[in-house]
Structure formats: C-alpha cells, structure tokens
Amino acid sequence: MRLFTFAAPSRFYGLSGALLPWLWASALLLASAGLYVGFVLAPTDATQGEAYRIIYIHVPAAWMSMVLYLAMAGWAAVGWAWNVRLASMLARAIAPTGALFAFIALWTGALWGKPTWGTWWVWDARLTSQLILLFLYLGFMALVEAIDDPKRSDQAGALLAVIGAINVPIIYFSVRWWNTLHQGASVSMTAAPKMASIMLTAMMVMTFAFWAYAFAVVFTRTRAIILEREQDADWVRTLVREEAVDA
C-alpha cells in the first residue's frame, strides 16, 4: 500500500487542482494549432476536396475513444483488485468523456460521409465498431448510475468494463468479417487520403489537444466525485468551510 500513498484522494485533489489551469491552457493552444495546421495549412485533397478535413477531428476522436476505454477498464480493474478508491473514481470520471469522443467520431464520420459518398451513414467496419463502443460506454455509465452502494457500483462497473475490454477485439473482428462478407459498402473510412506529412502532423497535434482536454475534464470530474464520496472526511469539511467563508 506504500506505493499508493499518492493515491490518497486528498493528495490527488490538491495536485489536480494545481494542474488544471495548465491542462486547459494546453488543450486550447494545441487545439488552435492543430486546427490551423489542418484546416488552413494542409493541402486540399485531390479526390475529396475540402470536406476531407473533418478527419483531423474524426481520427483523433476515434483514437481517444478507444484508448480512454482501455484506461477506464484499467483503472476500474486496479480499483477492484487492490481496493484503491481513487482508481475507481477515475474510471467513473473517464466514462462520459470517452463516450463523448465516440459520439464525436460517429458524428464527424457522418459529416465526412455526406459530401464524399452522399450518405450520412455507412455500415463500414470502423464506424460500426465505433457505434458498438458507444453502446459499451453507455452500458457502463448506466450500470454504475443504477447501483446506489458505492462499493458495489465500483466493482460491478469494473467487471463490466473488463468484460467489455476483452470483447472489443472480438466484436471488431466479427464486424470486419461481416462487412467484407456482405460486399455492401464499397466505401470505407480506411480509404482516407494519402497522408502527406503535414496531415499527419495536424492529426498528432489534435490528438495531443484531445489528450489535454481529456485530462482536464476527467480531473475536474474526479475532483467532484472525490468531494461527494469523501464528504465525511475532515479535509473535505475544512475545505468546504473555507470556501463558504470566502464566498
């Protein structure tokens, strides 16, 4: 347990509070830079014109949604296995943000699809898997919300998240199989324009921007959860009293 002294909620509360302004600033700067490079500097695509630029949001969002799911499952598992409350709180805080990125990926996918292929939605493997990932996020959020007891909620969520994490590759594989079998969609998200290095740069910068944003939002949410869960602790009582005096 010595390893986890930094995982004391009070320590995390203080540390994250100090980091937050920096995270928000980074997110803003990186997003501006990324969008500038992607929407202004990067060249127009030969086949897809200007509309392709949406991938600078779509692809990083898709990556984030997948990575955040693994992070959520990982922290939830740590919280369950070693009884670290903060880890479970982090997992709960990650879920809505992960779901948001999944939704953004789907929505930007539709925005890309309409001018490029004429339809708002294509049932290609990646988009369909993205939709299922959104369902997995929603399921997690629904389950932890439905359980009142905090410990049961954390543990049930952890089990569900781990089952989901194991199933994601299986689901992705089966959806790809389904997609190739049915020969329906000749269009695919993987038919992205050839990557000039500047395009890659734009995507990387946007990814970092999304990371900074994710950290900022998840930390903010975690702080709120900490205050709620630890409301009986002395340090929280002191904090609340101080804030009330300041107000």
- Pick the piece of the chain touching other proteins (CB under 8 A) from 32-40, 114-122, 162-170, 190-198: 162-170
DSSP letter string, 30-71? HHHHHHHIIIIISPPBTTTBGGGGGHHHHHHHHHHHHHHHHH
H or E element that contains 145: helix 125-146
**Residue 148 Cβ, how far from other proteins at the closest point, in Å?**
6
| Closest CA relative to residue 180, chosen from 106, 125, 130 | 125
Residue from 174, 188, 201, 220 touching other proteins (CB under 8 A): that is 174
**Who's near 53: CB < 8 A, 6+ residues apart?**
38, 39, 42
Separation of alpha carbons 177 and 242, rounded Å: 59
Report if residue 147 touches other proteins, rule: CB under 8 A: yes
**34 neighbors 202 (Cβ within 8 angstroms):** yes
Residue closest to 27 by CA, chosen among 165, 158, 216, 224: 216
Q: Does 1 bind other proteins (CB under 8 A)?
A: no
Stretch near other proteins under the rule CB under 8 A, chosen from 39-47, 165-173, 190-198, 213-221: 165-173
Q: Does 170 bind other proteins (CB under 8 A)?
A: yes
Please report how close the Cβ of residue 131 comes to other proteins at its closest, in angstroms: 9
CB of 86 to other proteins, least distance (A): 16
Structure letter (DSSP) for residue 84: -
Among the listed ranges 31-39, 41-49, 151-159, 198-206, the one in contact with other proteins (CB under 8 A) is 151-159
Nearest CA to 92 out of 237, 229, 235 is that of 229
CB 12 within 8 A of CB 18: no
Return the residue of 175, 206, 209, 217 that touches other proteins, per CB under 8 A. 175
Minimum CB separation of residue 170 from other proteins in Å reads 5
Cα within 13 Å of Cα(212), Cβ side: 20
- x/- letters, 86..125, toward other proteins (CB under 8 A): ----------------------------------------
Exactly one of 171, 187, 192, 239 binds other proteins (CB under 8 A); that residue is: 171
Query: Does 192 engage in binding with other proteins (CB under 8 A)?
Result: no
Determine phi and psi for 45, rounding to 5 degrees.
-80, 140
Query: Per rule CB under 8 A, is residue 173 in the interface with other proteins?
Result: yes
The encoded tokens of residue 178 equal: 């389904």
Task: Report the residue from 85, 92, 126, 229 that binds other proteins according to the rule CB under 8 A.
Answer: 229
Which residues lie near other proteins (CB under 8 A)?
A: 132, 135-136, 138-139, 142-143, 146-152, 155-156, 159-160, 163-164, 166-167, 170-171, 173-175, 177-178, 181-182, 229, 231-232
